[in-house]
Structure 1
Amino acid sequence: GTFSAQWKCSMFEALFSESLATALTKRALDGLHEFGRTVNELQYKAKHTEGHTAAHAMLTEWLKDIGYEAHLIDNEENDKVAQARWGNVLDFVDWIAKRCGGQHSEEGGVSFTEPKQSVLDVAQTISVILSLAERGDDQDQVTLTTLHASKGLEWPHVVLAGVNEGLLPFKREEAELTAEALQEERRLMYVGITRARTTLAVSTLRRRKKGRDTVVGIPSRFLAEMKLHEGSTREDPREKLKRMREELAAKAAARIAGAAE
């Protein structure tokens, strides 16, 4: 804590600072580096694990690796209490896994597949919710969050920053932006728009960093799709979402009917 405060960085960033060796013994430093690598590996797995089945397997394996069940049993005198706590942990794993999506359901004869989220996306959402809950009545603060983590939440005023091509929709240098990926990015944009209860501000960058270079910022294609120039009538986001779901269901039903013919 003292070292990170002195160098004005987070405690996790301080773990890998070259100067940290001057403040700690080699044994202590090795232990901290091992902890940092473990956290980075866990973050990587959480970022690249999507969908209910994969998320459940990843979290269950992680709990097994760290021996959490044995930890609860060893530190609780009452076996029934320890098993009850372990049961709560497994319930929480199920809860997180379900929110990673990928489950198939059917409604009105039309099959749906829940959009997939990564374990990291769900964890970030939980973090934001807990942060808001801890504030209590003191809500006059700025919340910095990602689009994924903001799903299901709302604020009176929302600012979407840096809505540029390459960022939203996101595109890696070497990867092709497929129609499916573009549609998923469009849904993400809609998530951001509908987080606002009263006002929404959207900004773009004139220039942005791309690797080590600075390139001209191109406004996202999604801004043109919003058709803000056509009028200022504001449609209720919930009604618009309901309408979009009905349109998607109708298109899906039409495709099924066409395939049956």
Structure 2
Amino acid sequence: MLKVSNNLIRKNSQRLEKNLFTKQTGGEDVIHHVAKSEEEEANWIANKIEDIVNNQDGVNYRDIAILYRANYLSRTIEQVLIRKGIDYRIFGGLKFFNRKEVKDALSYLRLVCNQEDLAFERIINTPARGIGKKTLENIQLVALNHQISLYDALTLHSDEIRLSNKSKKEVRILVEAIEKARRSTLPLHEMFEQLMIDVGYIDMLKNDLEDNRIDNIHELQRSIYDFQVSHEDAPTLENYLQDISLYTDNDSIDQGQYVSLMSIHMAKGLEFDYVFVLGLSEGIFPSFRSLAEDGDDGLEEERRLAYVAFTRARKQLFLTDSEGFSFVTDSPKISSRFIDEVGNEGIIHSGSKPRFKTTDYVPKQTVSKAELIGDNKVDDWKVGDLVNHDIFGKGVVVKVNKNILDIAFELPAGLKSLMANHKALKKLTN
């Protein structure tokens, strides 16, 4: 493990020369596993954890940690651990489905699906629409008098509710967005993305520079997409909300033996016998944001962070990533350059063959490319083209590689690699 970690950190030019060493003899090889999907990646980790606990004398769940570059990456592994009955604890953050933006987004979906009153109360003033406590009480009174939902009270009896002109305008935008989503024939993950744009939630997060929260919204979109792929017979919104109720209702207090989940930043100074570092895909770790904002210095800091993660393991280190399409980088996934940089000595690769930036990568998809990324019929991109993206905003093309564009967006989006014909991407007139 230390040989692999030392090989990695030697790639940094701005560092003090040092090599970690251990007095322990032997030691297990580092295992790197490439899964076909994020779901398979999480299942592989959970199965390996059960194998370690069941077959290694004296090992329990507290000897094991799962680390990730950013908190949104915990979503898939949390769902798998819950399904398998493996207790876990999140350190330095909330469980994925307990995060505010995730609860907000699910409330919008519940409002689309069944006009749920609790969902209405949660999102009616998020983003701000001038609906204060007294106005909400007025809506509740109208709903009670007519024995209808809060949403119907607002839409059918607005004349009985005292709203300012500004609030009327904002409420009209909200209602139009909800009804548009209800009528939508788009795949669920695309309907969700459009809903978050139409109600102003993405703009709210962008204006507040809440890039981590935007990542969580993208990860929830990935959850919806994964649901569609695995439920081709009935990928309805109602079925999706029922499917995730297991995770949203999982509020039990972790006690006794549990696996530790945390970001790498939280893991500094800690050690565990067995450590899993997941999500080692280019653009995720190293992070596109760090590379875009800080260039070579950002890359070296990301590499130092990887070194911290790799050296948290006392007995064995597991590194994982997956194939597919990233809704965060908006591009096909390839293995992190850090996997390539550690060399081949002391590391065993399993699963699919790692794919790095220098290799051509055609992602395996269960839906057609057109369904996944759309098609805006643009095939003449060049460096310097100005663009606008529905979520990332305005940017400029800095590199063209066949049908993949590297685009520098305004902060907080930063540098993104996107398919040239992504439906959310439009070329602007120079």
TM-score of the aligned structures, taking structure 1 as reference length: 0.38
Greater RCO, CA 8 A, separation 6+: 2
Q: Which has the higher helix share?
A: 1
TM-score of the aligned structures, taking structure 2 as reference length: 0.25
